[in-house]
Structure formats: structure tokens, C-alpha cells
Amino acid sequence: MPKYQIYFDTVSGETKYNVDIDERETLDMVLEEILFDLRERGAMLKGDGEPEVVWNGMSLDFARPLEEQGVRANDVLRVSTIATNG
């Protein structure tokens, strides 16, 4: 199972999280569980809005497996929030 390094932009600063994501799993399938784990540890995403995952300067599609999007094991992903209007 590929391992990824994910950096989250949290209220207390950047938080590193290492995670195994199966080749067939999508961000939709795993991100909510990771965010729940971070909240349990006291880390909250900075800002209001929807999470955005960025790799190599592009926003990733939550519905497609990472491998299909060119992301490889040990690549670094960054998670922040997209501000919503209103």
C-alpha cells in the first residue's frame, strides 16, 4: 500500500500526517477519516470552507484515485481550505 506525506494547514501551524492509501481508494474515501483523527489530536484546519488537496501545484480530484492523477508513493500533498463566498 503506497504511503503519502500530507501537510495540513492548521490553526496551530503546519501539521504533517503520514498515511497509507490503497491504489483504489480516493480522497473522498480517506480524507474525512484523516481529518477526524487530526481533530481528535486537537488540530483543526485553518479557515472556513471546503478542504482542497494540492500536489505539484494542482488541485486534486477527490473522486479519482491518486495514482490516476499522477501522484506516486511518498509524494507530498498539502491540504488547506478553499474560502466559500458568503
Per-residue pLDDT at 85: 62
CATH number of the domain that 44 lies in? 3.10.20.90
HSE-up of 67 (CA within 13 Å, CB side)? 10
The CA-CA-CA angle for residues 67, 83, 21, to 5°, reads 20
The parent domain of residue 21 ranges over 3-82
Only one residue has cell 501537510, namely 7
What is the DSSP code (8-state) at residue 58? E
Give pTM, 2 decimals: 0.85
Our count of domains for the chain comes to 1
* Confidence label for 52 from pLDDT (cuts 50, 70 and 90): very high
Helix (H, G, I), strand (E, B) or coil at 1: coil
Query: pLDDT tens for residues 7-34?
Result: 999 998 999 999 999 999 999 999 999 9
Q: Starting from the edge strand earliest in sequence, which strands make up the sheet with 3-10, in order?
A: 13-20, 3-10, 76-82, 50-55, 58-59
| CA–CA dist 77, 26 (Å, integer) | 14
* Confidence label for 54 from pLDDT (cuts 50, 70 and 90): very high
Q: What percent of the chain has pLDDT over 90?
A: 71
